[in-house]
């Protein structure tokens, strides 16, 4: 039974009230504020207009008082109590943020100190048949960390190391400080009789064409002596047909069964096949009576992390059902700063967008939470793999404290047991950047203390996984492996040369260097990177106009305003300017800032990812930093807070497409034409390379034969600049690759940086069809660069956006709402970078 009745909240100063008074079942709380559960205090106060929307302007600073208060939640519920021996009633909180004391019918039943796990209390004796009350007191965090040892390193705030709470709550380089408090997960009263299924662990042991072997381990808790316990385990097809069924006795409260599934339908990532989901049903029978059931989707697949290839060379490649996978994806941060209040639909939308942009992996980054079930359910359903970090980010942690370590152990056990049945879960990873940055900061002299926390990633977590999940790989940190931990030759790597100007190569102990120059931060540095797996890299791009205008006070929506600067939480704002200076030139107004930053990010990621993919023999993955935003800010995200994709998202549809045509070229050098194929099928056809000037004249064309190997990359040929230019200037042409006789997306390639291209102005002819919900655009006279469709509305979809059009060519873009509502098109704006009527409205 989920407790979804009316919850009320109130705050007090610390010490103002005696807890027993506020917790009393008889307290008159009529004048308290009603609040959603799951949710949080901020969201409840926003909903009731008690605080102004903290995402607007500088309003976040006005809600800081919330952190200083003691907050209480109260509710009442009716319960029909089954009494008698063998009955057990448990109160389960899926998420308490963070230091909570819980009272049931006025009795204190326990305290909690970890936001990142569920908490269960036995209330068998104290829950009433009839009316009941629950009260939960949340302490302000400062009571729990002000007297604790501070560490030399804890990024963004020194408060974090002792608190098991989402790190990003305290602010990060892409989001504001929003220290949430409240009941952020579901609350349930679970009633059991005789016994319950404590856990079910289902995993695939092996697969081949004819059969799969799966294993199911059961753990039971019994509430009565001398019981005859039996489990019935069934594997059902998607249509509910029983594929396998076994009865097994439960001895010593555990049971294990192996099932052989003939002609199995495997779970694949969506780019390689169908993410087929069976269902596992377990029924627990105590003394011939059904007492508990478990029913969850289950995907049959094997997933391995290959660290050595066939030639015994280092590699870092995921292998799914025996197929080596190039991981294409991005890094996931919490989908809102107010995590408890995120609607499930927002997860579905963001994961659908990852599939739309041809991603097959998301990394749940360590500075957030172990995501909600809906996230993994959706990844299972859509065929997107998950790289799961444990929640340790950019800090030292008090591993010398027994209570802290016990708390961490409970959290890790809980996370592993909750998530291990998801087919999408590909990897456990110990932390974000801690091993790497500990060395960098020690070398720089910023840290002199021992590596506090090391024991968690190198002992505690491996021990827990040894006991609870040996079915998938563990990687101690990201990045990890080699010398230093960000070594291109071993393990995974974060490329922060680009954007942050970090200087590489570097070895352990070297003082880290930064190069803040155009050459230091440019995305051209991606081509120097022959990592085995690029698990973080990226560049900022502006949010879309609607997202910014909605959240910026009147008169502040201009390039260089203090409010625009406030949206950007990164250090040294000059980095983004340098990056644009190198590629588009420095923007002069807000429209140019939005366009130039988006184009630089999109072209920069394309440049890097096409390089990584061409080298797929060695490089096996690219995860862009970052997928989404937690507030309407300026960041590395591909999709902004209002769920409006940036240009890079539309580019990703092509640069992450399983079949990629690309050109490897630098100014003055020859053009190497490549095809990358991530599919298991091989292809045969041709690739046409055509060079056009910007008014659409064909200057040169050639056909290259393409024998495209299964799951491989191949160079089709090489052409000199002189040959393809036929006497024209490199600044005046665009090259197009097209597949002939087979299907692969086109690729447009410019031989020089945007700022150096001599692009005449163009005029767009735009025809809007409101009934069809589409718009048809034609470029007149000259190529249109970065055709942009803009609507003042969040969470809508364009079938394409931010694309280039050759003169005379026509594009029809469909516009839709993910929930199927009709989209008003009256305010649609269509522009291009080189539009004859430049859109400089501020």
Given the complex with ligand BMA, which of 433 and 484 has the nearer CB atom? 433
Count residues binding ligand BMA (CB under 6 A).
8
Q: What residues contact 383, with CB distance under 8 A and at least 6 apart?
A: 267, 268, 269, 270, 271, 273, 274, 275, 355, 360, 424
* The binder of ligand BMA chosen from 174, 332, 370, 375 (CB under 6 A): 174
Q: Which of 729, 730, 726, 722 is nearest to 750 (CA)?
A: 730
- 432 belongs to the binding site for ligand BMA (CB under 6 A): yes
Q: What residues contact 725, with CB distance under 8 A and at least 6 apart?
A: 691, 699, 700, 733, 751
Given the complex with ligand BMA, which of 438 and 546 has the nearer CB atom? 438
Burial class (CB in 10 A: 0-12, 13-18, 19+), 598: buried
Range in contact with ligand BMA (rule: CB under 6 A) among 36-44, 171-179, 741-749, 813-821: 171-179
Given the complex with ligand BMA, which of 623 and 704 has the nearer CB atom? 623
Range in contact with ligand BMA (rule: CB under 6 A) among 166-174, 408-416, 708-716, 769-777: 166-174
Q: Which of 575, 579, 624 is nearest to 599 (CA)?
A: 579
Distance separating alpha carbons of residues 221 and 194, to the nearest angstrom: 9
Given the complex with ligand BMA, which of 432 and 497 has the nearer CB atom? 432
Q: How far is the CB of 500 from ligand BMA (least distance, A)?
A: 6
- 375 belongs to the binding site for ligand BMA (CB under 6 A): no
Q: Which of 534, 47, 49 is nearest to 328 (CA)?
A: 534
Q: How far apart are the first and last CA of the chain?
A: 53
Half-sphere exposure of 698 (CA within 13 A, CB side): 8
* The binder of ligand BMA chosen from 90, 108, 173, 549 (CB under 6 A): 173
Per-residue binding letters, 595-634, with ligand BMA (x by CB under 6 A): ------------------------------x---------
Given the complex with ligand BMA, which of 7 and 496 has the nearer CB atom? 496
- 431 belongs to the binding site for ligand BMA (CB under 6 A): no
Q: Which of 223, 243, 241, 219 is nearest to 231 (CA)?
A: 219
Other C-beta atoms within 10 Å of 85: how many?
9
* The binder of ligand BMA chosen from 433, 454, 640, 804 (CB under 6 A): 433
375 backbone dihedrals φ, ψ, rounded to 5°? -60, -50
Given the complex with ligand BMA, which of 502 and 754 has the nearer CB atom? 502
Q: How far is the CB of 429 from ligand BMA (least distance, A)?
A: 12
Q: Is the CB of residue 699 less than 8 Å from the CB of residue 762?
A: no
Q: How far is the CB of 404 from ligand BMA (least distance, A)?
A: 22
Q: How far is the CB of 606 from ligand BMA (least distance, A)?
A: 20
3-state secondary structure of 18: coil
Q: How far is the CB of 79 from ligand BMA (least distance, A)?
A: 45
Q: How far is the CB of 537 from ligand BMA (least distance, A)?
A: 9
- 536 belongs to the binding site for ligand BMA (CB under 6 A): yes
Given the complex with ligand BMA, which of 540 and 613 has the nearer CB atom? 540
Q: At what angle do helices 344-356 and 373-382 cross, to 10 degrees?
A: 30
Given the complex with ligand BMA, which of 321 and 626 has the nearer CB atom? 626
Other C-beta atoms within 10 Å of 667: how many?
11
- 436 belongs to the binding site for ligand BMA (CB under 6 A): no
Distance separating alpha carbons of residues 824 and 767, to the nearest angstrom: 15
Range in contact with ligand BMA (rule: CB under 6 A) among 14-22, 169-177, 646-654, 728-736: 169-177
CA distances from residue 565 to 294, 640, 642 in whole angstroms, order as listed: 51, 17, 19
Q: How far is the CB of 625 from ligand BMA (least distance, A)?
A: 5
Q: How far is the CB of 332 from ligand BMA (least distance, A)?
A: 12
Range in contact with ligand BMA (rule: CB under 6 A) among 11-19, 167-175, 253-261, 588-596: 167-175
Q: How far is the CB of 420 from ligand BMA (least distance, A)?
A: 24
599 backbone dihedrals φ, ψ, rounded to 5°? -70, -40
Q: How far is the CB of 496 from ligand BMA (least distance, A)?
A: 6
Distance separating alpha carbons of residues 500 and 625, to the nearest angstrom: 12
Q: How far is the CB of 423 from ligand BMA (least distance, A)?
A: 26
User: What is the contact surface with ligand BMA in residues (CB under 6 A)?
Assistant: 172-174, 394, 432-433, 536, 625
């Amino acid at each position: 039974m989920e407790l979804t009745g009316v919850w009320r909240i109130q705050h007090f100063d610390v010490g103002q009230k005696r807890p027993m008074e506020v917790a009393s079942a008889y307290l008159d709380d009529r004048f308290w504020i009603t609040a959603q559960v799951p949710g949080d205090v901020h969201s409840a106060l926003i909903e009731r207009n008690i605080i102004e929307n903290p995402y607007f302007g500088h309003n976040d600073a006005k809600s800081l008082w919330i952190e200083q208060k003691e907050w209480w939640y109260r509710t009442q519920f009716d319960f029909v109590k089954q009494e008698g021996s063998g009955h057990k009633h448990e109160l389960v909180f899926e998420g308490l943020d963070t230091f909570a004391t819980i009272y049931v019918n006025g009795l204190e039943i326990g305290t909690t100190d970890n936001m990142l796990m569920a908490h269960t209390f036995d209330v068998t004796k104290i829950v009433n048949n009839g009316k009941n009350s629950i009260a939960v007191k949340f302490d302000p965090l400062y009571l729990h960390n002000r007297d604790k040892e501070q560490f030399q390193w804890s990024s963004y705030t020194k408060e974090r190391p002792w608190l098991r709470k989402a790190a990003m709550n305290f602010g990060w380089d892409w989001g504001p400080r929003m220290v949430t408090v409240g009941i952020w997960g579901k609350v349930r009263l679970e009633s059991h009789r005789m016994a319950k299924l404590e856990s079910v662990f289902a995993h695939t042991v092996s697969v081949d064409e004819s059969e799969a072997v799966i294993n199911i381990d059961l753990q039971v808790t019994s509430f009565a002596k001398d019981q005859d316990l039996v489990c019935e385990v069934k594997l059902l097809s998607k249509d509910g047909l029983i594929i396998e069924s076994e009865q097994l006795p439960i001895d010593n409260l555990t049971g294990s069964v192996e099932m052989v599934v003939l002609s199995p339908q495997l779970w694949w990532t969506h780019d390689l096949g169908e993410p087929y989901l069976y269902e596992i049903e377990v029924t627990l029978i105590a003394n011939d009576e059904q007492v508990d059931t478990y029913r969850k989707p289950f995907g049959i697949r094997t997933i391995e992390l290959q660290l050595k290839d066939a030639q015994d060379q280092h590699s870092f490649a995921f292998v799914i059902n025996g197929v080596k996978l190039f991981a294409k994806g991005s890094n996931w941060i919490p989908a809102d700063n107010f995590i408890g209040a995120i609607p499930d639909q927002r997860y579905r939308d963001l994961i659908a967008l990852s599939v739309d942009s041809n991603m097959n992996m998301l990394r749940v980054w360590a500075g957030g939470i172990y995501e909600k079930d809906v996230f993994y359910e959706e990844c299972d359903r859509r065929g997107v793999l998950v790289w799961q970090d444990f929640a340790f980010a950019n800090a030292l942690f008090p591993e010398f404290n027994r209570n802290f370590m016990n708390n961490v152990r409970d959290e890790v056990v809980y996370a592993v047991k909750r998530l291990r049945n998801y087919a999408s879960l590909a990897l456990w990873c110990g932390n974000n950047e801690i091993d790497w940055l500990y060395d960098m900061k020690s070398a720089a002299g910023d840290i002199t203390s021992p590596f506090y926390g090391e024991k968690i990633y190198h002992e505690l977590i491996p021990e827990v996984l040894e006991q609870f999940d040996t079915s998938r790989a563990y990687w101690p940190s990201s990045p990890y492996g080699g010398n230093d931990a960000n070594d291109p030759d071993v393990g995974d790597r974060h490329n922060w040369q680009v954007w942050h100007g970090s200087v590489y190569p570097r070895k352990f102990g070297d003082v880290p260097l930064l190069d803040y120059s155009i050459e230091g931060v440019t995305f051209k540095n991606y081509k120097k990177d022959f990592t085995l797996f690029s698990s973080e890299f990226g560049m900022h791009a502006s949010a879309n106009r609607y997202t910014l205008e909605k959240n910026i006070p009147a008169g502040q929506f201009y390039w260089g305003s203090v409010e625009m600067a406030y949206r950007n939480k990164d250090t040294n704002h000059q980095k983004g300017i340098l990056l644009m200076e190198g590629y588009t030139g420095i923007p002069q107004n807000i429209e140019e800032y939005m366009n130039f930053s988006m184009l630089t990010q999109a072209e920069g990621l394309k440049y890097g990812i096409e390089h990584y993919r061409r080298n797929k023999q060695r490089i096996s993955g690219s995860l862009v930093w970052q997928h989404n935003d937690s507030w309407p800010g300026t960041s590395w995200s591909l999709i902004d807070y209002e769920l409006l994709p940036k240009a890079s998202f539309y580019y990703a549809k092509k640069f992450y497409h399983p079949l990629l045509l690309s050109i490897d070229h630098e100014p003055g050098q020859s053009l190497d034409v490549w095809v990358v194929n991530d599919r298991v099928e091989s292809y045969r056809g041709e690739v046409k390379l055509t060079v056009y000037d910007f008014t659409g004249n064909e200057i040169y064309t050639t056909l290259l034969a393409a024998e495209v190997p299964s799951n491989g990359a191949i160079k089709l040929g090489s052409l000199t600049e002189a040959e393809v230019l036929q006497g024209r200037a490199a600044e005046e042409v665009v090259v197009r690759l097209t597949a002939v006789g087979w299907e692969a997306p086109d690729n447009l390639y410019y031989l020089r940086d945007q700022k150096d291209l001599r692009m005449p102005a163009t005029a767009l002819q735009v025809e809007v069809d409101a009934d069809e919900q589409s718009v048809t655009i034609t470029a007149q006279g000259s190529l249109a660069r970065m055709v942009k469709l803009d609507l003042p509305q969040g969470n809508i979809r364009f079938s394409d956006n931010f694309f280039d059009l050759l003169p005379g060519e026509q594009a029809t873009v469909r516009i839709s709402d993910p929930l199927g509502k009709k989209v008003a098109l009256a305010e649609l704006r269509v522009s291009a970078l080189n539009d004859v009527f430049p859109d400089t409205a501020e």
